[in-house]
Each structure stands twice: as C-alpha cells, then as structure tokens.
C-alpha cells in the first residue's frame, strides 16, 4: 500500500504539484491555479511535518521565500504557523525563541480558528521552554 512507502507518498505529492503547475485548466472549480499548486505544496509540507521535521523546516522556509508575494494572507499565515510548529517539533531549545516570534507574527492575521491553533502551539512552545528551564 502506498501509505506504507513514504518515498512513494512524497513522490505522489511532488507529481501532484507538477501536474497542478503545468495544467492549463482548473483542476478544482473553486481554486485558481496558484491556489491549487499551493494546496499540493501545503499537503507535502504537512507530510514532511509528520515524517521529517528537518525537511519540513527547510521546505516551509522555501515556500515562504518563493510564494509570499503571490499567496493570500491566510496562506502566508498558515506557512508561518507550519514553520514555527516544525521548529517546535524539532525539539531544539535554542530555536524555541524564533518559533515563538514567528507564532506571535502569525497572530496578526485575524482568523479566530487559525488564531486558536496558533495560541495552542504558542502555549506548547512556552511549556517546552518551561520544562527545559526546570530541568
């Protein structure tokens, strides 16, 4: 089964991105081409977050650099959230301050649902920081 072969899952996401980039017609009626490409890129990013945190950090930085000018604010905020979450998952105490800074920046986007997730992960970052300092 494909889900048991992580390389094949990654390959499938990359192929989906490639198809979305090359498609001349809309693949989803509610999404334009940029949104469709980002949807697949974001799916790949979430896959990396679950399976390879270091790659998730690199890929989210890459997407922020490449896409921040063309994505709506909500998607930019989601990328920042994913980057900060990946940094927290990495578990390196030296990087927690940068993760918290990114999350505080992401809070500027006023979407109550997304803010709830951001506050949750910000709380976890502070908790990790507390645990580390208490050790």
Domain ranges of the chain: 2-20+28-134
**Whether the Cβ atoms of residue 96 and residue 59 lie closer than 8 Å to each other:** no
How much of the chain, in percent, has pLDDT values that exceed 70?
Answer: 97
Q: What is the pLDDT of residues 8-28, one digit of tens each?
A: 999 999 999 999 888 877 767
Tell whether the model's pLDDT for residue 5 goes beyond 50: yes
The CATH class, in words, for 2-20+28-134 is mainly alpha
- Burial-class residue 2 by CB neighbours within 10 Å (0-12, 13-18, 19+): exposed
Q: What is the pLDDT of residues 89-130, one digit of tens each?
A: 999 999 999 999 999 999 999 999 999 999 999 999 999 989
Please list, in sequence order, all residues whose beta carbon lies within 8 angstroms of the beta carbon of residue 82, skipping any fewer than 6 positions away: 42, 45, 46, 49, 56, 60
pTM: 0.88
How much of the chain, in percent, has pLDDT values that exceed 90?
Answer: 74
CA distance 134 to 114: 30
């Amino acid at each position: 089964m494909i889900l048991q072969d992580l390389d094949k899952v990654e390959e499938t996401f990359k192929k989906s991105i490639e198809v979305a980039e090359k498609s001349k017609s809309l693949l989803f009626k509610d999404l334009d081409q940029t949104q469709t490409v980002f949807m697949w890129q974001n799916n790949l990013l979430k896959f990396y977050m679950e399976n390879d945190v270091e790659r998730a950090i690199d890929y989210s930085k890459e997407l922020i650099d490449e896409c921040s000018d063309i994505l709506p604010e909500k998607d930019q905020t989601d990328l920042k959230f994913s980057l900060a979450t990946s940094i927290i998952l990495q578990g390196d105490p030296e990087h927690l301050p940068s993760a918290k800074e990114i999350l505080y920046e992401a809070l500027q986007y006023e979407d109550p649902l997304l803010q709830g997730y951001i506050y949750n992960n910000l709380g976890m970052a502070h908790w990790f920081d507390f645990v580390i300092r208490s050790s």
